Amino acid sequence: MTDTASDRPAAPGCPAHGGAVRMAGLEYQQTPSQLYRTLRREHGAVAPVLLDGDVPAWLVLGYTEVSYVVRHDELFARDSRRWNQWDSIPADWPLLPYVGYQPSVLFTEGEEHRRRAGVITHALEGIDQFQLARDCQYIADQLIGAFAGSGQAELMRAYAHAVPMRAAVQMCGMPHSGTDTEQFVDDLRISLDAAEGDDPVAAYARVGERLRRLVGEKREKPGPDVTSRMLSHPAGLTDEEVVQDLISVIAAAQQPTGNWIGNTLRLLLTDERFALNVSGGRLSVGEALNEVLWLDTPTQNFIGRWAVRDTQLGGRQIRAGDCLVLGLAAANTDPQIWPESHVGAENSAHLSFGNGEHRCPYPAPLLADVIARTAVETLLDRLPDLVLAVEPEELTWRPSIWMRGLTALPAEFTPAVH
């Protein structure tokens, strides 16, 4: 059962929201596919929802509807300042880090967005994918070396999140290890994913300072890295624009790629179709990576888009300034595109990287694939008898409706001497 707010009056200015579903609370659902099926049955392809603090929004659940929203930025745009609910948002609102306007590529629109996204695409295109694979293998080897001798590891923290974090830092032109980098990596982790006792605000400020210093260093002495290519691009971004967009690139790369690796390792270690120790006939790492993007995608829901004018979507009346959450996971498993319930095709027509103007910019999905594939393959090569250290049912998902990732992935293996 979903927790609905049908006993409450409709949200002011939003008559369609009688019967809205509270999204805060749904994060404890451990099987989102069932949750989205129920929501779709009860509410159709566009469901009225209440975000934290009962702030109304729309959750777009249909494949066709999500595709329509992301392809029509003249109707559904990214600048959150047009939200009609700002009056009811407190200063400490938990979703503010994702929704509060920042002068980065994420919130720009039209010509300005094409300018900023064009610079990022150019800078990422300069990455040699073979070199990236070699760098990731080196990073992976170093991380594995730190726990290989003990015969056990918690792979989410020690590996799945650490590989893309270090790869992203190195791409931007910082060394992948050393005290300075360790501090930066730690601050990034705290600002993106604070644990008990962390101070994410202070960590985020240090991330900005370090990137400002990096931009200064690369202006002085450019190198073969993303930061230098962004600075030398003819679009002429200011130092502050480069800092903002580097934060977006690193943050956008880290959490989803880390969870993509973790969710793929889980699938490989728990599903007999991928049984690792049985030779012959097993499905490949590539197939596991792709299946995860269809069925356990890291970015489950993305906030979002804001309606530019009054319009309609999936039979709902959308008002100018309404917020729409992109239900990417729901769209990927939409029964309309899977009439025979054979969810999880070998093609990549899923919406896990978004679509349209603000999609995950080419070639980021390819780079993410290189990072994730190298991380998974290196681990399985180095520790061939790797198994889960708990029963599959004991694995738990993080309580988040936004990101699908495990709280922990404890594994064991024969200690390796090296």
Question: In the complex, what is the shortest distance from the CB of residue 8 to ligand HEM, in angstroms, rounded to a whole number?
Answer: 31
| 400 contributes a contact to ligand HEM by CB under 6 A | no
The answer to whether the CB of 152 falls within 8 A of the CB of 389 is: yes
Question: In the complex, what is the shortest distance from the CB of residue 9 to ligand HEM, in angstroms, rounded to a whole number?
Answer: 32
Q: Which helix (H) or strand (E) holds 324?
A: strand 323-326
| Residues sharing a CB contact under 8 Å with residue 319, sequence separation 6 or more, in sequence order | 13, 14, 84, 307, 310
Question: In the complex, what is the shortest distance from the CB of residue 78 to ligand HEM, in angstroms, rounded to a whole number?
Answer: 7
Tell me whether residue 187 or residue 296 sits nearer to ligand HEM (CB atom): 296
**DSSP assignment of 258-310:** HHHHHHHHHHHHH-GGG-TTS-SSPPPHHHHHHHHHHHS-SB--EEEEEESSS
Question: In the complex, what is the shortest distance from the CB of residue 111 to ligand HEM, in angstroms, rounded to a whole number?
Answer: 13
| 360 contributes a contact to ligand HEM by CB under 6 A | yes
Task: Return the number of other C-beta atoms located less than 10 Å from residue 346's C-beta.
Answer: 9
Site for ligand HEM in 57-86 (CB under 6 A): 70
Q: In angstroms, rounded to a whole number, what is the distance separating the alpha carbons of residues 78 and 73? A: 8
Question: In the complex, what is the shortest distance from the CB of residue 352 to ligand HEM, in angstroms, rounded to a whole number?
Answer: 4
**Contact with ligand HEM (CB under 6 A): which of 48, 173, 262, 298?**
298
- Which of these ranges, 145-153, 273-281, 291-299, 329-337, lies near ligand HEM under the rule CB under 6 A? 291-299
Question: In the complex, what is the shortest distance from the CB of residue 91 to ligand HEM, in angstroms, rounded to a whole number?
Answer: 25
Question: In the complex, what is the shortest distance from the CB of residue 333 to ligand HEM, in angstroms, rounded to a whole number?
Answer: 15
Q: In angstroms, rounded to a whole number, what is the distance separating the alpha carbons of residues 397 and 168? A: 25
Q: What are phi and psi of 178, to 5 degrees?
A: 115, 160
Q: In angstroms, rounded to a whole number, what is the distance separating the alpha carbons of residues 178 and 145? A: 16
- Which of these ranges, 82-90, 145-153, 202-210, 296-304, lies near ligand HEM under the rule CB under 6 A? 296-304
| 251 contributes a contact to ligand HEM by CB under 6 A | no
Tell me whether residue 20 or residue 119 sits nearer to ligand HEM (CB atom): 119
Where do we find the tokens 């605000």? 201
What is the separation, in whole angstroms, between the first and last Cα of the chain? 52
| 117 contributes a contact to ligand HEM by CB under 6 A | yes
Q: In angstroms, rounded to a whole number, what is the distance separating the alpha carbons of residues 361 and 365? A: 7
| 300 contributes a contact to ligand HEM by CB under 6 A | no
- Tell me whether strands 311-313 and 316-318 are parallel, antiparallel or unpaired: antiparallel
Q: In angstroms, rounded to a whole number, what is the distance separating the alpha carbons of residues 339 and 343? A: 9
User: By rule CB under 6 A, what string of x and - marks binding of each residue 87-116 to ligand HEM?
Assistant: ------------------xx----------
**Structure tokens given for 185:** 């990596």
Tell me whether residue 20 or residue 167 sits nearer to ligand HEM (CB atom): 167
Tell me whether residue 86 or residue 402 sits nearer to ligand HEM (CB atom): 402
How big is the site for ligand HEM, counted in residues (CB under 6 A)?
28
Tell me whether residue 25 or residue 365 sits nearer to ligand HEM (CB atom): 365
**Contact with ligand HEM (CB under 6 A): which of 71, 206, 212, 359?**
359
Amino acid at 354: G
**Contact with ligand HEM (CB under 6 A): which of 368, 376, 386, 406?**
368
Question: In the complex, what is the shortest distance from the CB of residue 57 to ligand HEM, in angstroms, rounded to a whole number?
Answer: 15
Q: What are phi and psi of 184, to 5 degrees?
A: -65, -45
Question: In the complex, what is the shortest distance from the CB of residue 280 to ligand HEM, in angstroms, rounded to a whole number?
Answer: 30
Q: Among 401, 389, 136, which residue's Cα sits nearest to residue 258?
A: 136
| 248 contributes a contact to ligand HEM by CB under 6 A | yes
Where do we find the tokens 């049984």? 275
Cα–Cα distance list, 73 to 25, 108, 168, 178, 390 (Å): 30, 11, 29, 43, 46
Tell me whether residue 151 or residue 354 sits nearer to ligand HEM (CB atom): 354
User: By rule CB under 6 A, what string of x and - marks binding of each residue 133-172 to ligand HEM?
Assistant: ----------------------------------------
Cα–Cα distance list, 38 to 1, 4, 44, 217, 324 (Å): 8, 12, 10, 53, 19
Q: In angstroms, rounded to a whole number, what is the distance separating the alpha carbons of residues 145 and 132? A: 20
**Contact with ligand HEM (CB under 6 A): which of 253, 285, 386, 411?**
253
Tell me whether residue 11 or residue 253 sits nearer to ligand HEM (CB atom): 253
Return residues touching ligand HEM (CB under 6 A).
70, 105-106, 117, 120, 248-249, 252-253, 256-257, 260, 293, 297-299, 302, 328, 352-354, 358-361, 364, 367-368
